[in-house]
């Protein structure tokens, strides 16, 4: 929705006020004329001659105009309030729609970031799975069961610890492969 420049908005407001004043003046003249004609008609009731007939003919002309004026103002009041309500609802809906678009854009950006993170984690998990597979393959079950040392200079690792480490490695490798879908 485009915004109206301030000078143009001011011109529109001034033109609207001018129209309202012209409509009010014309309506006021019609209403005053109608009441004058009605008052004049009352003065000619019961008199002989064409004067009452002529005033009656003028009232027949003025009454529709009076009906138009009254209809215009009653319609204007209801239509203005409806227009303001509709405009308010439109502004609210517009703001809500813009907020929904902003939330959707943020959700899409977050989903893309999460997808990139998941891809990076999957790659890391594949590397870890490969490494764990290589490590488990290097320590065969028979060697772990009979070995007294791991071949590390620092000390001796009992064979039960070596078997436990191999089993934990196999479980971790199985879980990683299940996650990776292999």
Domain boundaries, the chain: 6-115
What's 40-109 look like in SS3? HHHHHCCCCCCHHHHHHHHHHHHHHHHHHHHHHHHHHHHHHHHHHHHHHHHHHHHHHHHHHHHHHHHHHH
Name residues whose C-beta falls within 8 Å of residue 38's C-beta, 6 or more positions apart in sequence: 59
Tokens 């879980």 correspond to what residue? Answer: 175
Tokens 């405009």 correspond to what residue? Answer: 87
pLDDT band per the 50, 70, 90 thresholds, residue 161: low
* Tens digit of each residue's pLDDT (9 = 90 or more) over 98-153: 999 999 999 999 999 999 888 888 887 777 777 777 776 766 655 555 554 445 44
pLDDT at 11: 85
* pLDDT mean over 167-178: 76
More confident residue, 75 or 113: 113
Find out whether 66 and 36 touch, Cβ atoms under 8 Å. Answer: no
pLDDT at 1: 47
Any idea how long the chain is? 182
């Amino acid at each position: 929705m485009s915004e109206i420049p301030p000078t143009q908005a001011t011109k529109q407001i001034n033109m609207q006020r001018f129209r309202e004043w012209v409509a009010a003046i014309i309506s006021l003249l019609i209403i005053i004329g109608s009441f004058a004609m009605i008052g004049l008609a009352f003065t000619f009731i019961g008199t002989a001659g064409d004067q009452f007939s002529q005033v009656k003919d003028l009232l027949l002309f003025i009454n529709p105009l009076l009906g138009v004026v009254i209809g215009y103002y009653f319609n204007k009041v209801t239509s203005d309030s409806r227009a303001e309500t509709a405009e308010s609802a439109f502004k609210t809906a517009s703001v809500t729609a813009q907020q929904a678009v902003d939330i959707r854009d943020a959700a899409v950006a977050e989903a893309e970031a999460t997808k990139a993170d998941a891809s990076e984690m999957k790659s890391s998990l594949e590397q870890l799975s490969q490494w764990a597979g290589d490590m488990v393959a290097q320590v065969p079950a028979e060697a772990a069961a009979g070995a007294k040392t791991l071949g590390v200079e620092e000390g001796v690792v009992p064979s039960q610890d070596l078997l436990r480490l191999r089993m934990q490695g196999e479980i971790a490798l199985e879980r990683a492969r299940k996650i990776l879908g292999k």
